[in-house]
C-alpha cells in the first residue's frame, strides 16, 4: 500500500502479531528509474523476521528486467509485478491495472520477466479493466509463464474499492492455476478471512486496508483458524495503537503539521472501526496539531468497550483515500 505500509509501519506490525510475508510498496519502473531508497530500506532493514517480496510497477520491458535483476541482489523471497493498481495516475500510463487492457502486452512482459527472475516470480492482478470478460484469457497467460504465486483482487480496475468483490472469480483462478493463489479484497475480519478461504479455495490471503484498521487481524485469523478465543481490542487498545503509530511514522525532519497530515492517511482506515456516524473522521480531518489530533482520538477511544470486528459502512467521497491505489 503505497506511502502507507512502509518500513515504519512494518516495524510496528511485528509487535501486533504481524503477517507471514510482506510485500513492499511498489518500485516505480521506467526508462531511467532507480531503486527508490526508502522502499529499498524495507528490504535491507527488514525488521519483521519474515520473507519480503519486492513489488514493481511499470510497462517498459528493458527497465522492468533491469530492475528485477537489481532487486535480486538483495535479500528478497520473490519479485512481484503489480497488475492491479486502479489509481488513474497509474493506469492512464498503462501501468498497474492499466495493463489489463492489453493482454498481449502482459504476455510479453511476463515472458521477459520470467527469464530474468531467478527467485520466485509473482503477480498481483485484478479481474480485468472495465469488466471481467478477459479474465480467463489473463489466467491462461499467467499459467503459460509458470508463475510461482498469483494474487487476485476480486474487482475490476473500474470497480476501485467500492464494488462487490467477486470471490467466485478468485475461486476460478485457484482452480485453474498450478501455482498457489492468494485472495485479496475486503478481508476485514478473522471470520471473513475464514469464509473467503472456504469460498475461494485460495491458499492464503493478502491483507492491506484491514491491517491498518485492525493491526491484530493477523493474530485473530490465526486464533480463529486454530479454534482459539479471539483477542478483542477495546477502545484504549486502539488509542494505544494510534499513539504507537504516530511515534513510529514520525520523523524529526518534518514539522508537526506534516506529521498530523500523514497520520490522517492511516486514520482514514482506522476510523472505519471507531464509530458509525463519521463524526470521528470528520473531526480528525480538521485537526491541525498533535494536541488537536489526540484530543479527538481520546474523546472517542478512552473507553474499555470492545471494538467492532467488522468496519462500519460510512459515506465516502470520490476523492477519499479509500478509493485510491492502496490495496
Contact yes or no for 177/152 (Cβ under 8 A): no
Edge-to-edge strands, sheet with 52-57: 22-28, 52-57, 78-83, 120-125, 149-153, 181-184, 204-206
Give the model's pLDDT for residue 3: 82
85 is catalytic: yes
pLDDT tens-digit profile, the chain (327 residues): 888 889 999 999 999 999 999 999 999 999 999 999 999 999 999 999 999 999 999 999 999 999 999 999 999 999 999 999 999 999 999 999 999 999 999 999 999 999 999 999 999 999 999 999 999 999 999 999 999 999 999 999 999 988 999 999 999 999 999 999 999 999 999 999 999 999 999 999 999 999 999 999 999 999 999 999 999 999 999 999 999 999 999 888 889 999 999 999 999 999 999 999 999 999 999 999 999 999 999 999 999 999 999 999 876 665 554 433 444
Give the model's pLDDT for residue 162: 86
Give the model's pLDDT for residue 5: 87
Give the model's pLDDT for residue 320: 55
**Half-sphere CA count of 275, side-chain side, radius 13 A:** 17
Give the model's pLDDT for residue 323: 36
pTM: predicted TM-score of the whole model, two decimal places? 0.93
Give the model's pLDDT for residue 324: 37
Question: Three-state SS for 178?
Answer: coil
Give the model's pLDDT for residue 318: 56
Give the model's pLDDT for residue 313: 86
Q: Which CATH class is domain 7-225?
A: alpha beta
**Cα distances (angstroms) measured from residue 260 to each of 209, 211, 226, 254:** 19, 20, 39, 10
- Can you give the residue ranges of every domain in the chain? 7-225, 235-308
Give the model's pLDDT for residue 325: 41
Q: Residues with Cβ < 8 Å from 244, sequence gap 6 or more? A: 12, 15
Q: Which of 85, 94, 297, 325 is catalytic?
A: 85
Taking the C-alpha atoms of residue 282 and residue 52, their distance in angstroms, rounded to an integer, is 36
**Cα distances (angstroms) measured from residue 57 to each of 180, 287, 302, 327:** 21, 34, 41, 14
Amino acid at each position: 500500500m503505497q506511502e502507507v505500509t512502509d518500513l515504519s509501519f512494518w516495524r510496528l506490525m511485528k509487535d501486533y502479531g504481524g503477517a507471514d510475508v510482506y510485500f513492499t510498496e511498489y518500485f516505480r519502473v521506467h526508462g531511467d528509474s532507480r531503486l527508490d531508497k526508502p522502499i529499498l530500506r524495507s528490504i535491507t532493514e527488514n525488521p519483521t523476521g519474515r520473507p519480503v517480496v519486492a513489488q514493481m510497477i511499470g510497462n517498459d520491458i528493458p527497465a522492468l528486467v533491469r530492475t528485477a535483476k537489481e532487486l535480486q541482489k538483495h535479500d528478497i523471497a520473490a519479485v512481484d509485478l503489480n497488475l492491479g493498481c486502479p489509481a488513474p495516475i497509474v493506469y492512464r500510463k498503462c501501468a498497474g491495472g492499466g495493463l489489463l487492457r492489453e493482454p498481449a502486452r502482459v504476455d510479453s512482459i511476463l515472458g521477459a520477466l520470467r527469464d530474468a527472475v531467478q527467485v520466485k516470480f509473482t503477480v498481483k492482478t485484478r479481474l480485468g479493466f472495465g469488466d471481467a470478460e478477459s479474465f480467463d484469457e489473463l489466467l491462461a497467460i499467467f499459467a503459460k509463464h509458470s508463475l510461482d504465486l498469483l494474487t487476485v483482487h476480486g474487482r475490476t480496475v473500474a470497480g476501485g474499492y467500492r464494488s462487490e468483490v467477486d470471490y467466485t472469480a478468485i475461486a476460478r483462478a485457484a482452480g485453474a492455476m498450478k501455482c498457489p493463489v492468494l485472495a485479496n479484497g475486503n478481508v476485514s475480519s478473522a471470520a471473513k478471512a475464514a469464509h473467503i478461504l472456504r469460498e475461494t479455495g485460495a491458499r492464503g490471503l493478502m491483507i492491506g486496508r484491514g491491517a491498518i484498521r485492525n493491526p491484530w487481524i493477523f493474530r485473530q485469523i490465526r486464533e480463529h483458524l486454530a479454534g482459539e478465543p479471539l483477542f478483542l481490542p477495546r477502545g484504549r487498545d486502539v488509542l494505544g495503537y494510534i499513539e504507537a503509530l504516530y511515534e513510529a511514522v514520525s520523523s524529526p525532519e518534518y514539522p508537526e503539521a506534516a506529521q498530523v497530515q500523514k497520520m490522517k492517511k492511516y486514520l482514514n482506515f482506522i476510523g472505519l472501526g471507531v464509530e458509525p456516524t463519521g463524526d470521528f473522521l470528520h473531526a480528525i480531518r480538521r485537526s491541525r496539531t498533535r494536541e488537536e489530533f489526540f484530543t479527538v482520538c481520546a474523546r472517542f477511544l478512552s473507553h474499555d468497550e470492545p471494538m467492532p470486528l467488522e468496519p462500519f459502512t460510512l459515506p465516502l467521497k470520490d476523492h477519499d483515500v479509500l478509493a485510491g491505489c492502496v490495496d
